C-alpha cells in the first residue's frame, strides 16, 4: 500500500437511533464532527485557562459550533438546538469531521488500485460483486484510475463486513447504529472499508442501500473529504432517495479530478448524461419549480433542492427537500402552497397532491389532483397561490387559472379565467406564485412579475433571485 506517515482518520456512517439527552447528544455530536472542546477538556489541554464559560467566543463556543453545523446543512443559523437541528444531527451520516483539516493531500500514488472483498450472506455474492464493481466504476469513469478485484492475493483496499468490535478502535453497534467506516489512503489499514454486517443491507430501497454507501466510502478510500454540497455523494448525511439513482455530482467529479486528473474518455462518457450540478441561487437563468411561504419563511424549490429565506437571517443556503420531508415529497415539483387556515402545506406533482401538517403526511394523502375539483383534462398544475384574506387558492394551468374555496372545498363558479385578464401583461406560462408584503408575485421562467394584490396592476418585472441575497438592486 501507499507509503506515507500521515495519520489516517477513520470515517464512520453513524446514526443515533437511541433515546438520549439532547444536551449531552449535542455536545458529543459537536465534539466529534465540529472540533468542539467543552470547557473541562480545554482546561486539561492548556495552562492558560479562560475564566469564561462556554458562551465565550472562539473555536470552542458551543453556539458558534451549532451555527457552523446549521450553515453546513442549510439550516437557519440560530445557534439554538431546534427540533429540526436535532433531527438533522440524528440522521445517518459519515463520521469524518465536517471541519476540513489543513494539511497534505492524501491520495494513492498509482493509477491501478486493487481491492479484495469479503462478502456477507444477506446479499448474494454475485449481487455484492456487481454493486461494488458499479460503485468503483463511477470513480474510474471520470479519472485515469483502474480498479481490479483480487480474490486471494494482498490488495490495496480490503472491504470487510464486521460485527461489533473488530480491532480497529471503532466497534460497530448492531442494526441502526454505525453503518460503515473507511480509512484514507495509506499503509496497512489505510484505504480499507468496513461495513456493519448487522445492518439490513440491500441493493434496492427496502433497507440500507449498499450501493449508495459504497460510493461514498470509496470516495474516502480514494482521499476525498466531505462536501457541503447537498447534491454531492460526499455530502456527510446519508441521503439515499429511492426515486433517484446514486451518481457522482459535478462537485464530486471536480474534487476527485483534482486528486487524480481526468479520464481521457471523460467527455465522451458524460456527453449524454453530464454530472448533475446543484442549482445556484444567483444563476440568471434559474427557473424555480415552485415558491411558497411557510410560517415565517419563503421556500424556493428547484429539482430536489430548496432555498429557505427567513426575515431574521440574511444568508440562505441550499438544502435537500428531503431534509424536511424525508422520502415522501417528490423532486421536480409542479406547485406548492401553504394553507395558513388549516396549517398545512400542499405539494403537487403530475396528477398527485400531498398535504403535510408540519412534517407529517395528512391522513388520506396523497390524492389525485381531481379531488380538488379540477377537471380531468387537467394533467398537472403549473403553480398555486393561496390568498389568506379570501381563503381562496388559485391554480394556474397553462394560460388559465382556477379559484378554489378552501372552506367549502369546491371550485368557484365562473372559472377557469384567462390569466392575463386578471394579471395584465402575464401572457407566458406561470411557473410559480407567491404573495408577500401586499404584492402578488408571478414567476415565469427566469423572471418574476410584481402585481398589486387586489388591482392586478403590474409594477415591476424582476429576476427570480430578487428575494435571495445575491440580488443587487
Residue 50's pLDDT band (boundaries 50, 70, 90)? very low
C-alpha cell at 267: 467527455
Residue 5's pLDDT band (boundaries 50, 70, 90)? very low
Residue 188: CB atoms within 10 Å: 10
- Asked whether 287 and 279 are in contact (CB, 8 A), the reply is no
- Which residues are bridge partners to 401 per DSSP? 396, 417
Task: Report whether 282 belongs to an annotated binding site.
Answer: no
Task: Report whether 420 belongs to an annotated binding site.
Answer: no
Residue located via cell numbers 453556539: 63
Residue 315 has a pLDDT of 80
Rg from Cα positions in the chain: 25
The yes-or-no verdict on residue 56 having pLDDT over 80 is no
Q: Is 159 helix (H, G, I), strand (E, B) or coil?
A: strand
CATH number of 290-467: 2.110.10.10
Q: Is 383 helix (H, G, I), strand (E, B) or coil?
A: strand
Task: Report whether 32 belongs to an annotated binding site.
Answer: no
Q: Is 71 helix (H, G, I), strand (E, B) or coil?
A: helix
Residue 39 has a pLDDT of 67
Kindly report the backbone phi and psi dihedral angles of residue 237, in degrees, each rounded to the nearest multiple of 5, phi listed first. Answer: -80, 145
CATH number of 18-89: 1.10.101
pLDDT above 70 coverage of the chain, percent: 88
Residue 313 has a pLDDT of 83
Mean pLDDT of the region 5-13: 39
Angle at 465 between CA 461 and CA 466, to 5 degrees: 55
- 218 vs 108, 172, 271, CA distance in Å? 13, 19, 24
- 26 vs 79, 89, 200, 318, 406, CA distance in Å? 12, 8, 27, 23, 41
Range of lowest pLDDT (165-169, 173-177, 227-231, 258-262):
173-177
Q: Over the chain, what is the mean pLDDT? A: 86
Summarised one tens digit per residue, pLDDT across range 62-102 is 999 999 999 999 888 999 998 889 888 888 887 778 887 76
Angle at 235 between CA 207 and CA 87, to 5 degrees: 65
Straight-line distance from the first to the last Cα atom of the chain, in angstroms, rounded to the nearest whole number:
56
Q: Which residue is catalytic, options 68, 217, 338, 406? A: 217
Summarised one tens digit per residue, pLDDT across range 432-444 is 999 998 899 999 9
| Domain positions in the chain | 18-89, 112-270, 290-467
Mean pLDDT of the region 163-174: 84
The yes-or-no verdict on residue 306 having pLDDT over 90 is yes
**Domain 112-270 part of CATH 3.40.390.10:** yes
Residue 217 among the catalytic residues: yes
Confidence (pTM)? 0.85
Residue 40 has a pLDDT of 59
Q: Hey, do 18-89 and 112-270 end up sharing a CATH topology, with the first three levels equal? A: no
Q: How many Å separate Cα 346 from the centre of its chain? A: 20
C-alpha cell at 220: 474516502
Residue 16 has a pLDDT of 38
Residue 429 has a pLDDT of 95
Task: Report whether 198 belongs to an annotated binding site.
Answer: no
Residue 269 has a pLDDT of 66
Alpha helices in 348-405 (DSSP H): none
Amino acid at each position: 500500500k501507499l507509503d506515507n506517515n500521515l495519520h489516517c482518520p477513520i470515517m464512520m456512517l453513524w446514526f443515533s437511533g437511541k433515546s438520549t439527552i439532547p444536551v449531552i447528544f449535542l455536545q458529543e455530536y459537536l465534539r466529534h464532527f465540529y472540533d468542539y472542546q467543552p470547557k473541562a477538556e480545554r482546561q486539561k489541554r492548556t495552562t492558560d485557562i479562560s475564566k469564561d464559560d462556554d458562551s465565550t467566543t472562539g473555536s470552542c463556543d458551543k453556539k458558534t459550533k451549532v451555527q457552523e453545523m446549521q450553515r453546513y446543512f442549510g439550516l437557519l443559523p440560530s445557534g439554538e438546538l431546534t427540533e429540526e437541528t436535532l433531527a438533522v444531527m440524528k440522521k445517518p451520516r459519515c463520521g469524518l469531521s465536517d471541519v476540513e483539516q489543513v494539511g497534505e493531500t492524501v491520495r494513492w500514488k498509482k493509477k491501478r488500485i486493487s481491492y479484495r472483498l469479503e462478502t456477507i450472506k444477506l446479499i448474494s455474492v454475485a449481487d455484492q460483486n456487481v454493486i461494488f464493481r458499479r460503485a468503483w466504476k463511477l470513480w474510474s469513469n471520470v479519472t485515469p484510475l483502474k480498479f481490479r478485484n483480487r480474490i486471494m492475493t494482498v490488495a490495496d483496499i480490503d472491504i470487510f463486513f464486521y460485527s461489533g468490535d473488530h480491532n480497529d478502535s471503532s466497534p460497530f453497534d448492531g442494526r441502526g447504529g454505525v453503518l460503515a467506516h473507511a480509512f484514507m489512503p495509506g499503509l496497512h489499514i489505510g484505504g480499507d472499508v468496513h461495513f456493519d454486517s448487522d445492518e439490513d443491507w440491500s441493493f434496492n430501497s427496502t433497507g440500507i442501500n449498499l450501493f449508495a454507501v459504497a460510493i461514498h466510502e470509496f470516495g474516502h478510500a480514494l482521499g476525498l473529504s466531505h462536501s457541503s454540497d447537498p447534491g454531492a455523494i460526499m455530502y456527510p448525511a446519508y441521503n439515499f432517495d429511492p426515486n433517484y439513482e446514486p451518481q457522482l455530482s459535478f462537485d464530486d467529479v471536480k474534487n476527485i479530478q483534482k486528486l487524480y486528473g481526468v479520464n481521457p474518455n471523460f467527455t465522451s462518457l458524460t456527453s449524454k448524461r453530464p454530472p448533475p450540478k446543484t442549482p445556484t441561487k444567483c444563476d440568471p437563468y434559474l427557473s424555480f419549480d415552485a415558491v411558497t411561504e411557510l410560517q415565517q419563511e419563503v421556500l424556493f424549490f428547484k429539482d430536489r433542492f430548496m432555498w429557505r429565506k427567513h426575515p431574521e437571517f440574511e444568508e440562505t443556503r441550499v438544502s435537500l427537500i428531503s431534509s424536511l420531508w424525508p422520502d415522501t415529497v417528490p423532486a421536480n415539483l409542479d406547485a406548492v402552497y401553504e394553507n395558513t387556515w388549516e396549517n398545512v402545506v400542499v405539494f403537487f406533482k403530475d396528477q398527485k397532491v400531498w398535504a403535510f401538517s408540519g412534517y407529517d403526511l395528512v391522513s388520506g394523502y396523497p390524492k389525485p389532483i381531481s379531488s380538488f375539483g379540477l377537471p380531468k383534462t387537467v394533467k398537472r398544475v403549473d403553480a398555486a397561490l393561496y390568498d389568506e384574506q379570501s381563503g381562496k387558492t388559485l391554480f394556474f394551468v397553462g394560460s388559465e387559472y382556477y379559484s378554489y374555496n378552501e372552506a367549502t372545498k369546491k371550485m368557484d363558479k365562473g372559472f377557469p379565467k384567462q390569466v392575463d385578464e386578471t394579471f395584465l401583461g402575464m401572457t407566458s406560462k406561470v411557473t410559480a406564485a407567491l404573495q408577500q408584503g401586499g404584492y402578488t408575485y408571478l414567476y415565469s421562467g427566469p423572471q418574476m412579475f410584481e402585481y398589486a394584490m387586489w388591482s392586478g396592476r403590474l409594477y415591476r418585472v424582476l429576476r427570480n433571485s430578487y428575494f435571495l441575497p445575491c440580488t443587487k438592486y
